[in-house]
Amino acid sequence: MGSAAKGWSSRSWVSEAAVGALLAWFDRQGRVLPWRETEDPYRIWVIETLLQQTRIAQAEARIVRFLAWFPSLQALAQAPIESVLEVWQGLGYYQRAHNLHRAAQRLHAQGGFEALWTRPDPLQGLLALPGIGPYTARAILAFSEKGAYLPVDGNLVRVLSRLFADPTPATDRAYYQGQADGLPLAWRQRKVAFALMDLATLLCTPRQPKCLLCPLSAFCEGLRQGAVMRFPVRAERPPRPTRHFIFKLYATAEGVWLVQRPPKGLWGGLWCLPMEELPAPAAEKPTFCHTLTHFQLMGYVERLPSPAEGSRPVEWSVLGQYGLPAPIKRLLLHEAEAYHRSL
Protein backbone atom coordinates (compact mmCIF):
# COMPACT_ATOMS: atom_id res chain seq x y z
CA MET A 1 0.00 0.00 0.00
CA GLY A 2 3.02 2.31 -0.19
CA SER A 3 2.98 5.34 2.07
CA ALA A 4 -0.57 4.56 3.17
CA ALA A 5 0.78 1.66 5.22
CA LYS A 6 2.71 4.09 7.47
CA GLY A 7 -0.50 5.57 8.78
CA TRP A 8 -2.05 8.95 8.21
CA SER A 9 -0.80 10.43 11.47
CA SER A 10 2.80 10.10 10.22
CA ARG A 11 2.27 12.75 7.53
CA SER A 12 4.18 15.91 8.36
CA TRP A 13 1.23 18.18 7.57
CA VAL A 14 -1.24 16.37 9.84
CA SER A 15 -1.35 19.22 12.30
CA GLU A 16 -3.65 21.81 13.73
CA ALA A 17 -2.87 24.03 10.71
CA ALA A 18 -4.96 21.81 8.41
CA VAL A 19 -7.74 21.60 10.99
CA GLY A 20 -7.67 25.37 11.40
CA ALA A 21 -8.07 25.93 7.66
CA LEU A 22 -10.94 23.44 7.55
CA LEU A 23 -12.79 24.97 10.49
CA ALA A 24 -12.33 28.53 9.19
CA TRP A 25 -14.00 27.43 5.95
CA PHE A 26 -16.74 25.64 7.87
CA ASP A 27 -17.52 28.79 9.87
CA ARG A 28 -18.04 30.67 6.58
CA GLN A 29 -19.56 28.04 4.30
CA GLY A 30 -20.84 25.15 6.42
CA ARG A 31 -24.46 24.02 6.24
CA VAL A 32 -26.94 24.90 8.93
CA LEU A 33 -28.75 21.65 9.77
CA PRO A 34 -31.25 21.64 12.65
CA TRP A 35 -30.20 18.28 14.09
CA ARG A 36 -26.64 19.51 14.62
CA GLU A 37 -27.84 21.76 17.43
CA THR A 38 -28.32 18.90 19.89
CA GLU A 39 -25.84 17.07 22.09
CA ASP A 40 -28.53 14.67 23.37
CA PRO A 41 -27.17 11.15 22.64
CA TYR A 42 -30.67 9.71 22.15
CA ARG A 43 -31.62 12.30 19.53
CA ILE A 44 -28.24 11.93 17.82
CA TRP A 45 -28.71 8.15 17.66
CA VAL A 46 -32.21 8.43 16.19
CA ILE A 47 -31.09 11.06 13.67
CA GLU A 48 -28.06 9.09 12.51
CA THR A 49 -30.18 5.95 12.14
CA LEU A 50 -32.84 7.77 10.11
CA LEU A 51 -30.20 9.37 7.89
CA GLN A 52 -28.75 5.99 6.91
CA GLN A 53 -29.70 5.11 3.33
CA THR A 54 -32.05 8.13 3.26
CA ARG A 55 -31.70 11.46 1.45
CA ILE A 56 -31.53 14.49 3.76
CA ALA A 57 -34.52 16.14 2.06
CA GLN A 58 -36.62 13.05 2.77
CA ALA A 59 -35.24 12.52 6.27
CA GLU A 60 -35.81 16.00 7.74
CA ALA A 61 -39.59 15.69 8.10
CA ARG A 62 -39.23 12.07 9.27
CA ILE A 63 -36.80 13.10 12.02
CA VAL A 64 -39.25 15.69 13.33
CA ARG A 65 -42.13 13.18 13.22
CA PHE A 66 -40.21 10.34 14.85
CA LEU A 67 -38.96 12.50 17.71
CA ALA A 68 -42.45 13.91 18.23
CA TRP A 69 -43.80 10.36 18.66
CA PHE A 70 -40.82 9.07 20.66
CA PRO A 71 -39.15 12.08 22.33
CA SER A 72 -37.00 10.07 24.73
CA LEU A 73 -35.25 6.75 25.13
CA GLN A 74 -37.94 5.70 27.60
CA ALA A 75 -40.75 6.58 25.18
CA LEU A 76 -39.19 4.50 22.41
CA ALA A 77 -38.35 1.58 24.69
CA GLN A 78 -41.90 1.39 26.04
CA ALA A 79 -43.66 1.81 22.67
CA PRO A 80 -45.00 -1.27 20.81
CA ILE A 81 -43.03 -2.17 17.71
CA GLU A 82 -46.19 -1.64 15.61
CA SER A 83 -46.11 2.08 16.48
CA VAL A 84 -42.44 2.33 15.54
CA LEU A 85 -43.06 0.63 12.18
CA GLU A 86 -46.03 2.90 11.49
CA VAL A 87 -43.87 6.00 11.89
CA TRP A 88 -41.06 4.34 9.92
CA GLN A 89 -43.36 3.51 7.00
CA GLY A 90 -41.93 4.58 3.63
CA LEU A 91 -38.30 4.82 4.77
CA GLY A 92 -37.40 1.25 3.82
CA TYR A 93 -34.65 -0.87 5.43
CA TYR A 94 -37.13 -1.84 8.14
CA GLN A 95 -34.58 -3.86 10.05
CA ARG A 96 -33.20 -0.50 11.21
CA ALA A 97 -36.51 0.18 12.99
CA HIS A 98 -36.51 -3.24 14.66
CA ASN A 99 -32.89 -2.82 15.79
CA LEU A 100 -33.53 0.70 17.06
CA HIS A 101 -36.47 -0.52 19.12
CA ARG A 102 -34.65 -3.55 20.52
CA ALA A 103 -31.57 -1.50 21.36
CA ALA A 104 -33.70 1.16 23.09
CA GLN A 105 -35.35 -1.50 25.25
CA ARG A 106 -32.00 -3.01 26.20
CA LEU A 107 -30.30 0.32 26.88
CA HIS A 108 -33.24 1.60 28.93
CA ALA A 109 -33.22 -1.59 31.01
CA GLN A 110 -29.48 -1.07 31.64
CA GLY A 111 -29.99 2.45 32.99
CA GLY A 112 -29.86 4.50 29.80
CA PHE A 113 -27.04 6.66 28.50
CA GLU A 114 -26.22 7.97 31.99
CA ALA A 115 -25.25 4.45 33.08
CA LEU A 116 -23.43 3.83 29.79
CA TRP A 117 -21.13 6.84 30.33
CA THR A 118 -19.93 5.37 33.63
CA ARG A 119 -18.59 2.22 31.97
CA PRO A 120 -14.84 1.83 31.30
CA ASP A 121 -15.44 1.71 27.52
CA PRO A 122 -18.72 3.33 26.34
CA LEU A 123 -17.78 2.65 22.70
CA GLN A 124 -17.88 -1.11 23.26
CA GLY A 125 -21.13 -0.71 25.21
CA LEU A 126 -22.73 1.00 22.21
CA LEU A 127 -21.32 -1.55 19.74
CA ALA A 128 -22.94 -4.34 21.78
CA LEU A 129 -26.42 -2.93 21.06
CA PRO A 130 -28.46 -4.20 18.07
CA GLY A 131 -27.97 -2.19 14.90
CA ILE A 132 -25.24 0.13 16.21
CA GLY A 133 -22.12 -0.21 14.09
CA PRO A 134 -18.69 1.46 14.18
CA TYR A 135 -19.85 4.70 12.55
CA THR A 136 -23.04 5.20 14.58
CA ALA A 137 -21.33 4.37 17.89
CA ARG A 138 -18.60 6.94 17.25
CA ALA A 139 -21.13 9.49 16.00
CA ILE A 140 -23.14 9.20 19.24
CA LEU A 141 -19.99 9.70 21.32
CA ALA A 142 -18.43 12.46 19.23
CA PHE A 143 -21.56 14.51 18.58
CA SER A 144 -22.69 14.34 22.22
CA GLU A 145 -19.15 15.39 23.31
CA LYS A 146 -18.66 12.12 25.20
CA GLY A 147 -15.68 10.83 23.23
CA ALA A 148 -12.89 11.96 20.91
CA TYR A 149 -13.73 10.25 17.62
CA LEU A 150 -13.97 11.05 13.92
CA PRO A 151 -16.86 8.88 12.63
CA VAL A 152 -16.14 7.72 9.08
CA ASP A 153 -19.03 7.14 6.68
CA GLY A 154 -18.90 6.67 2.90
CA ASN A 155 -18.56 10.40 2.24
CA LEU A 156 -15.65 10.74 4.62
CA VAL A 157 -13.94 7.74 3.02
CA ARG A 158 -13.95 9.73 -0.23
CA VAL A 159 -12.53 12.89 1.35
CA LEU A 160 -9.91 11.12 3.45
CA SER A 161 -8.76 8.76 0.72
CA ARG A 162 -8.15 11.77 -1.55
CA LEU A 163 -6.57 13.84 1.20
CA PHE A 164 -4.05 11.09 2.02
CA ALA A 165 -3.90 9.59 -1.51
CA ASP A 166 -4.73 6.29 0.15
CA PRO A 167 -5.13 3.39 -2.32
CA THR A 168 -7.01 1.19 0.13
CA PRO A 169 -10.37 0.16 -1.46
CA ALA A 170 -13.35 2.19 -0.28
CA THR A 171 -15.08 -1.00 0.83
CA ASP A 172 -12.52 -1.48 3.61
CA ARG A 173 -14.39 0.81 6.00
CA ALA A 174 -12.70 -0.74 9.05
CA TYR A 175 -9.30 0.33 7.72
CA TYR A 176 -10.42 3.93 7.19
CA GLN A 177 -12.04 4.10 10.61
CA GLY A 178 -8.90 2.66 12.20
CA GLN A 179 -6.75 5.30 10.51
CA ALA A 180 -9.15 8.05 11.64
CA ASP A 181 -9.01 6.73 15.22
CA GLY A 182 -5.23 7.22 15.09
CA LEU A 183 -5.31 10.85 13.99
CA PRO A 184 -4.25 13.58 16.45
CA LEU A 185 -6.86 14.76 18.92
CA ALA A 186 -7.46 17.99 16.98
CA TRP A 187 -9.00 15.92 14.19
CA ARG A 188 -11.21 13.79 16.44
CA GLN A 189 -13.92 16.23 17.41
CA ARG A 190 -17.54 16.99 16.62
CA LYS A 191 -17.00 20.18 14.61
CA VAL A 192 -14.27 18.63 12.44
CA ALA A 193 -16.61 15.75 11.56
CA PHE A 194 -19.37 18.20 10.56
CA ALA A 195 -16.89 20.23 8.51
CA LEU A 196 -15.61 17.17 6.63
CA MET A 197 -19.18 16.03 5.94
CA ASP A 198 -19.98 19.43 4.45
CA LEU A 199 -16.75 19.40 2.48
CA ALA A 200 -17.79 16.04 1.00
CA THR A 201 -21.22 17.38 0.04
CA LEU A 202 -20.28 20.85 -1.20
CA LEU A 203 -16.76 20.56 -2.64
CA CYS A 204 -15.17 17.10 -2.54
CA THR A 205 -17.96 15.52 -4.58
CA PRO A 206 -17.73 12.14 -6.36
CA ARG A 207 -17.63 13.85 -9.76
CA GLN A 208 -16.16 17.25 -10.61
CA PRO A 209 -14.75 18.11 -7.18
CA LYS A 210 -14.14 21.84 -6.66
CA CYS A 211 -10.51 21.51 -5.58
CA LEU A 212 -9.65 25.19 -6.13
CA LEU A 213 -12.21 26.16 -3.48
CA CYS A 214 -11.19 23.49 -0.98
CA PRO A 215 -9.67 24.69 2.30
CA LEU A 216 -7.54 21.53 2.40
CA SER A 217 -6.12 21.90 -1.13
CA ALA A 218 -2.69 22.89 0.24
CA PHE A 219 -2.57 19.63 2.21
CA CYS A 220 -4.25 17.21 -0.26
CA GLU A 221 -1.93 14.45 -1.47
CA GLY A 222 -4.37 13.39 -4.18
CA LEU A 223 -4.38 16.91 -5.63
CA ARG A 224 -0.60 17.18 -5.37
CA GLN A 225 -0.30 13.99 -7.42
CA GLY A 226 -2.87 15.26 -9.95
CA ALA A 227 -4.88 12.15 -9.27
CA VAL A 228 -7.89 13.21 -7.20
CA MET A 229 -10.32 11.21 -9.33
CA ARG A 230 -8.34 8.00 -8.76
CA PHE A 231 -9.53 8.05 -5.15
CA PRO A 232 -11.19 6.34 -3.51
CA VAL A 233 -10.32 3.07 -5.21
CA ARG A 234 -13.53 1.17 -5.78
CA ALA A 235 -13.84 -2.60 -5.75
CA GLU A 236 -16.02 -3.96 -8.54
CA ARG A 237 -19.58 -4.55 -7.38
CA PRO A 238 -21.33 -7.78 -8.32
CA PRO A 239 -24.55 -7.26 -10.27
CA ARG A 240 -27.71 -7.00 -8.16
CA PRO A 241 -29.73 -10.24 -8.54
CA THR A 242 -33.44 -10.33 -9.40
CA ARG A 243 -35.98 -12.24 -7.31
CA HIS A 244 -39.61 -12.95 -8.21
CA PHE A 245 -42.58 -13.03 -5.82
CA ILE A 246 -46.31 -13.70 -6.14
CA PHE A 247 -48.54 -11.44 -4.03
CA LYS A 248 -51.98 -12.90 -3.32
CA LEU A 249 -54.72 -10.29 -3.36
CA TYR A 250 -58.18 -10.83 -1.98
CA ALA A 251 -60.20 -7.63 -1.63
CA THR A 252 -63.79 -6.45 -1.49
CA ALA A 253 -65.43 -3.04 -1.42
CA GLU A 254 -64.94 -3.04 2.36
CA GLY A 255 -61.28 -3.92 2.60
CA VAL A 256 -58.31 -6.15 1.84
CA TRP A 257 -56.89 -9.28 3.53
CA LEU A 258 -53.32 -8.94 4.84
CA VAL A 259 -50.75 -10.85 6.87
CA GLN A 260 -47.99 -9.55 9.12
CA ARG A 261 -44.49 -10.40 7.96
CA PRO A 262 -42.10 -12.22 10.34
CA PRO A 263 -39.92 -9.88 12.44
CA LYS A 264 -36.76 -10.80 10.53
CA GLY A 265 -36.22 -10.88 6.80
CA LEU A 266 -37.83 -9.00 3.95
CA TRP A 267 -40.15 -6.21 5.23
CA GLY A 268 -39.87 -7.59 8.75
CA GLY A 269 -42.88 -6.87 10.94
CA LEU A 270 -44.81 -4.96 8.27
CA TRP A 271 -48.29 -5.79 6.99
CA CYS A 272 -48.39 -7.16 3.48
CA LEU A 273 -50.32 -9.25 1.00
CA PRO A 274 -49.63 -12.98 1.44
CA MET A 275 -46.59 -13.69 -0.71
CA GLU A 276 -44.31 -16.45 -1.83
CA GLU A 277 -41.10 -16.50 -3.82
CA LEU A 278 -41.00 -18.08 -7.27
CA PRO A 279 -38.04 -20.19 -8.41
CA ALA A 280 -38.11 -18.49 -11.83
CA PRO A 281 -39.86 -15.56 -13.55
CA ALA A 282 -43.58 -16.00 -14.18
CA ALA A 283 -44.84 -16.15 -17.75
CA GLU A 284 -46.71 -12.85 -17.52
CA LYS A 285 -45.26 -9.39 -17.17
CA PRO A 286 -44.58 -8.31 -13.54
CA THR A 287 -47.19 -6.06 -11.94
CA PHE A 288 -44.45 -3.96 -10.32
CA CYS A 289 -40.74 -3.92 -9.64
CA HIS A 290 -38.98 -2.54 -6.57
CA THR A 291 -35.27 -2.03 -5.91
CA LEU A 292 -33.98 -3.16 -2.53
CA THR A 293 -30.46 -3.02 -1.12
CA HIS A 294 -29.37 -6.48 -2.22
CA PHE A 295 -31.75 -7.41 -5.04
CA GLN A 296 -34.36 -6.28 -7.52
CA LEU A 297 -37.85 -7.48 -6.62
CA MET A 298 -40.34 -8.38 -9.34
CA GLY A 299 -43.90 -8.65 -8.08
CA TYR A 300 -46.79 -10.54 -9.68
CA VAL A 301 -50.29 -10.07 -8.30
CA GLU A 302 -52.63 -13.07 -8.19
CA ARG A 303 -56.28 -12.28 -7.40
CA LEU A 304 -57.89 -14.89 -5.15
CA PRO A 305 -61.55 -15.96 -5.01
CA SER A 306 -61.35 -16.25 -1.20
CA PRO A 307 -58.98 -15.07 1.57
CA ALA A 308 -55.58 -16.75 1.85
CA GLU A 309 -55.02 -18.91 4.91
CA GLY A 310 -53.76 -16.88 7.87
CA SER A 311 -54.76 -13.51 6.43
CA ARG A 312 -57.04 -11.04 8.20
CA PRO A 313 -59.36 -8.31 6.86
CA VAL A 314 -58.31 -4.66 7.04
CA GLU A 315 -60.85 -2.01 6.12
CA TRP A 316 -59.82 0.47 3.43
CA SER A 317 -60.62 3.33 5.80
CA VAL A 318 -57.97 2.28 8.32
CA LEU A 319 -55.32 0.98 5.91
CA GLY A 320 -53.17 4.05 6.53
CA GLN A 321 -52.76 3.03 10.17
CA TYR A 322 -50.86 -0.11 9.18
CA GLY A 323 -47.14 -0.23 8.42
CA LEU A 324 -46.94 -1.34 4.77
CA PRO A 325 -43.98 -1.79 2.40
CA ALA A 326 -43.86 1.14 -0.04
CA PRO A 327 -44.73 -0.83 -3.23
CA ILE A 328 -47.59 -2.67 -1.50
CA LYS A 329 -48.94 0.59 -0.13
CA ARG A 330 -48.98 2.11 -3.63
CA LEU A 331 -50.66 -1.01 -5.03
CA LEU A 332 -53.37 -1.05 -2.36
CA LEU A 333 -54.06 2.68 -2.54
CA HIS A 334 -54.69 2.24 -6.26
CA GLU A 335 -56.93 -0.74 -5.48
CA ALA A 336 -58.86 1.27 -2.87
CA GLU A 337 -59.43 4.10 -5.37
CA ALA A 338 -60.79 1.62 -7.92
CA TYR A 339 -63.32 0.30 -5.40
CA HIS A 340 -64.26 3.84 -4.39
CA ARG A 341 -64.91 4.84 -8.01
CA SER A 342 -67.07 1.77 -8.56
CA LEU A 343 -69.46 2.65 -5.71
Instruction: Give the residue from 89, 12, 102 showing the smallest Cα distance to 50.
Output: 89
Catalytic site includes residue 48: yes
Residue 291 phi, psi (nearest 5): -90, 125
Sign of the torsion formed by the C-alpha atoms of 125, 126, 128 and 133: negative
Query: Is residue 335 within 8 Å of 279, Cβ to Cβ?
Result: no
DSSP 236: P
What is the rounded radius of gyration, in angstroms, for the C-alpha atoms of the chain? 24
**Whole-number Cα distances in Å, 111 to 41, 84, 127:** 14, 21, 16
**Whole-number Cα distances in Å, 314 to 84, 131, 270, 272:** 19, 31, 14, 11
Catalytic residue among 16, 37, 48, 86: 48
Q: Which residues of 18-44 are buried (b: 16+ CB within 10 A; e: fewer)?
A: bbebbbebbeeebeeeebbeeebbbbb
First to last CA, the chain: 70
Which positions are annotated as active-site residues?
Answer: 48
